[in-house]
Amino acid sequence: MQFRLVVKLPRKAGFTLIELSIVLVIVGLLAGGVLIGRDMIHAASLRASVSQLARYDAAVNAFREKYGGIPGDITPDVATAYGFFPGTGDGNGIITQNSFGTGGPIIGPPYGGGAWGVVCGSEALVFWRHLSDASMMDGSYGQGDGTATLSATGYVTSDTNSVGSFLPAARLGDGNYVTVFSSLQSQNYYILTSLNRLRTFGNCFASNGSGNITPLDAHSVDAKLDDGLPNSGSVVAGSNATNFPMPSFATVSSPSTCIIGSGYMDSQATYNTNVASGGNDFSCSLAVRFK
């Protein structure tokens, strides 16, 4: 009887073309899913920002109905009677902001000439403290951060980087916060902008010298709340916390330009939504008028 020794050598490791195709398809689906998921999360943050401002409007109106004035603006005696932080409110229905001893609004409105100087004192910070005191918003603001507290004049007692202890973070993210101010036309606004420091006196510090919202996102929020134009209506755009409504303008879009137009009087100016030339740059802030 004859025997044959048969030895089967292992197949050389590797992938067939079919296996490689399957792997590439799976990788493509995963990559596409990640991108779609990221876009969905970003779109949700924009919707959340719109809803956030709507909730603040509802809270302000409820506060007015219950306490006879808007947060931060009720007079100290009224505030004390309700157990709130006294502040320096004068009851005129305007978020007055004292800066450099002017004792009144220092903000130039749309088409009024001049920049909107946003300050962090007087009634502006007390606004959020009163909403917190009345339990009409999520979170607690104005109580202090261990090193700085809210003074009787409405300013922080010492310079602080703990902006989130005094102002709510914007749902947009990217270091943006929500503060409030008034125009010389006696209109109250929320402002969404990037801040990293509050001072004992004067203007807030913008975190990077410019706004921290992209023109594409600014346009999206504007379109949801207003007319989608940066220089008209109840939503206007600026380039930073102290520059409304005079952002960077250009007749041809260029990087870090929030708006394309001929100047702040140009009501037909548009947001720079060209991705190739700045549409995704952090160059905008937004001011949204109270409802």
| DSSP per-residue codes, 248-273 | -EESS--TT--EESS-TT-TT-EE--
**Which has the higher per-residue pLDDT, 48 or 244?**
48
pLDDT tens readout for residues 194-221: 888 888 876 565 554 456 899 999 999 9
Per-residue tokens: 170? 């914007």
129-177 pLDDT, tens per residue? 999 999 999 999 998 888 899 988 888 899 888 999 999 999 988 888 9
Q: How many helices (H) and strands (E) does the chain have?
A: 4, 8
Tell me the range of 102-111, 255-264, 267-276 where mean pLDDT is highest. 267-276
- Residue at 115: amino acid letter: A
Of the listed ranges 30-34, 65-69, 243-247, 269-273, the least confidently predicted one is 243-247
d(CA 115, CA 108): 6
**121, 201 Cβ separation under 8 angstroms:** yes
Q: Are 118 and 242 in contact (CB under 8 A)?
A: yes
Instruction: Give the pLDDT confidence of 220-269 residue by residue, as tens digits.
Output: 999 999 999 988 889 988 765 444 544 455 555 566 688 888 766 677 88
Q: Which pLDDT does position 68 carry in this prediction?
A: 94
The confidence score (pLDDT) of residue 14 equals 61
Does the structure show a pLDDT above 80 at 30?
Answer: no
Chain centroid to Cα 95, Å, comes to: 18
At 283 the pLDDT is: 84
Q: Enter the tokens of residue 153.
A: 């004049």
For residue 106, what pLDDT band results from cuts at 50, 70 and 90? very low
Nearest in space to 41 (alpha carbons), one of 173, 223, 193? 173
DSSP per-residue letters across 201-232: SSBPEESSSS-SB-HHHHHHHHHHHS-S-TTS
pLDDT averaged over the chain? 78
Give start and end residues of each alpha helix (H) in the chain.
Answer: 17-67, 76-81, 123-133, 215-225
Residue 83 predicted with pLDDT over 90: yes
Mean pLDDT across 38-55: 85
Tokens of 201: 């006196």
